[in-house]
């Protein structure tokens, strides 16, 4: 028989195996697991701070321009009998695209895709009115934007761009992607932009703002497998082409930094 240890006070202490086990297991298992998870999280954050990236961007308004778009329009007053093509249809040079009442046709000025139709049966057209646009898809479309003068130095040629198209919500179709290919060395006024683009000054001011800014030209990333012929951040993008003049929200990625650099630079 084992004699219980003497405490030195004249009263031996009786210890069982169960009591010793309870002393050893002071922390419950869930606490040990929680501590391990927290440690793993801290390590992951440190790794991300050292190896990850944080992107800074500039947001401005933009305007979509069809680089290869040509207008189909009348040279005299007429009434549309029937539109002979559909949106997104491929046509060839000289193909009849609109028939007119009383005889006669409007023909395509080039081979390409019908990217906008502005008339329908019964439409009354005055001389010079645009019936539709045909776009040569071999020419890459562009988006123009005015970067405020206060942001000079932030936008530069070669920077990647994400664009939210008003007619194709980014939540559904993602962002249209492109690259800054040109930026002016001096600020442009809306009058100068309208002259350069051949658009009415009121249109430029309403879409790009009335304040002077550096004119940035964004070339879109080509992707022939999509309907729009351009690359999107999600899948195939919208099931329709993007048309001339549609408003664009432009985000230019101006820098990438390690998260740890952002923390210490602040």
The span from the CA of 216 to the CA of 193, in Å, is: 11
Q: Which residues are registered as beta bridge partners of 160?
A: 179
Residues of the chain with CATH 2.40.50.100: 69-135
Alpha helix segments (H runs only) across 28-143:
29-51
Q: Digits of tens for pLDDT over the chain (266 positions)?
A: 555 555 555 555 555 555 545 544 555 676 767 777 787 777 776 665 566 555 566 788 888 887 777 889 888 899 999 999 998 889 999 999 999 998 899 999 999 888 888 899 999 999 888 899 888 877 778 888 888 776 655 667 888 889 999 889 999 999 999 998 988 888 888 888 888 777 777 877 877 778 888 888 899 998 988 988 899 998 899 988 887 778 888 888 765 545 554 455 55
CATH 2.40.30.170 range(s) for the chain read 55-67+140-259
Of residues 179, 185, 187, 201, the one with CA closest to residue 148: 187
Q: How far is CA 150 from CA 71, 130, 212, 239, 266, in A?
A: 37, 39, 10, 38, 21
pTM more than 0.75: no
Report CA 74 to chain centroid distance, whole Å: 36
- The alpha carbon of residue 45 and the mean position of all alpha carbons in its chain are separated, in whole angstroms, by 28
One CATH from 3.30.450.20, 1.10.3210.10, 2.40.30.170, 3.30.70.360 for 55-67+140-259: 2.40.30.170
**Tokens coding 48:** 């991300």
Q: Which CATH number fits domain 69-135: 3.30.360.10, 3.40.630.30, 2.40.50.100, 1.10.3080.10?
A: 2.40.50.100
Alpha carbons 69 and 112: distance in angstroms, whole number: 9
Polymer length of the chain: 266
């Amino acid at each position: 028989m084992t004699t219980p240890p003497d405490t030195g006070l004249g009263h031996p202490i009786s210890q069982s195996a169960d009591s010793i086990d309870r002393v050893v297991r002071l922390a419950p298992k869930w606490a040990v697991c929680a501590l391990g998870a927290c440690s793993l999280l801290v390590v992951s954050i440190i790794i991300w701070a050292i190896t990850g990236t944080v992107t800074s961007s500039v947001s401005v308004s933009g305007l979509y321009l069809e680089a290869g778009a040509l207008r189909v329009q009348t040279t005299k007053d007429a009434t549309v009998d029937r539109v002979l093509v559909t949106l997104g249809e491929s046509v060839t040079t000289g193909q009849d695209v609109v028939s007119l009442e009383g005889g006669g046709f409007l023909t395509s000025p080039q081979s390409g895709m019908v990217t906008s139709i502005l008339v329908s049966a019964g439409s009354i057209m005055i001389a010079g009115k645009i019936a539709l646009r045909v776009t040569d898809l071999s020419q890459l479309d562009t988006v123009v934007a005015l970067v405020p003068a206060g942001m000079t130095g932030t936008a530069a040629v070669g920077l990647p761009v994400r664009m939210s198209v008003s007619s194709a919500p980014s939540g559904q179709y993602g962002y249209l992607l492109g690259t800054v290919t040109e930026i002016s060395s001096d600020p442009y006024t809306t009058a100068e932009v309208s002259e350069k683009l051949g658009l009415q000054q009121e249109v430029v001011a309403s879409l790009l703002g009335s304040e002077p800014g550096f004119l940035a030209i964004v070339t879109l990333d080509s992707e022939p497998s999509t309907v729009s012929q351009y690359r999107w951040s999600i899948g195939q993008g919208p099931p329709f082409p993007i048309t001339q003049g549609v408003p664009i929200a432009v985000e230019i990625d101006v820098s990438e930094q390690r998260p740890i650099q952002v923390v210490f630079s602040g």
